[in-house]
Structure 1
């Protein structure tokens, strides 16, 4: 098993990061905005979609994701102060503004979102080594 390390500097890169982070489980307590450092970071248990050793239910891996150049973070659809809250990440997207600035949006199942106002797009996703058998393989109905 190889640990994943990705950087996104444009929307195409971010689509790749989003695909690898899709269906990640995130505790609300494991995400935060460091205003002074202009960074938003989170820890996740991501589903290992790219595993070269498929198992019936797959694997989950502990991973970290952070965004640089963040000037503002807004939360909607969930309580960001609920430490035991758990979110399921659906997608990450970038809405361009005055180049290179824009909005990074993290969308969660159930309608929750995190919107990050960024001066530029820079995201880094890295596995942290731990991996374990998933309790279920995520599946979605296509409407």
Structure 2
């Protein structure tokens, strides 16, 4: 009998929360290069909730896919921020219903008493800024993984 290894583990959909900057950094890494139509952003002021339906590259599976010579994958995920007081954006034309956005990073700029701003940086100089009473983020996979249409992993030259 041998010890269990990491490869013996069962893959499961991600369901992560973030309530501080360190937690949010993990989510930011996992949503880097996620793409979404401008129509998949939702701001519910009465519920103080901002949400995105993302097509997320599965960074957590990249090495295993490369080692096993199988296709890279994406998965649809919902990224939700609660306790949001206001939303502003730049470089985004909400009237262009065909616009596809690419998420580069998610950061938290802390203010007083746990409040602050969540900054979603987009490719092409776009950005979304959420003023939040507190950092309360959730990332949840909502579909089965599917083959990445490009067939390639995103690449960022250093």
Q: TM-score range by the shorter chain?
A: over 0.9
Distance (whole Å) between structure 2 residues aligned to residue 61 and residue 110 of structure 1:
23
1:58-77 matches, within 5 Å, as 58-77=72-91
1:138 aligns with 2:134: no
SS of residue paired to 2:113: coil
Can you list the C-alpha shifts for 1:40-78, whole angstroms capped at 9, x where unaligned?
001000000111741455100010010000010001011
Contiguous gaps of at least 5 residues in structure 1: none
SS of residue paired to 2:59: coil
RMSD: 1.3
Structure 2 length-normalised TM: 0.86
Contiguous gaps of at least 5 residues in structure 2: 1-10
SS of residue paired to 1:63: strand
Structure 1 length-normalised TM: 0.94
SS of residue paired to 1:61: strand
4+ residue segments displaced more than 3 Å: none
Match of 1:38 among 31, 38, 48: 48
1:87 aligns with 2:87: no
Q: What is the aligned residue count?
A: 142
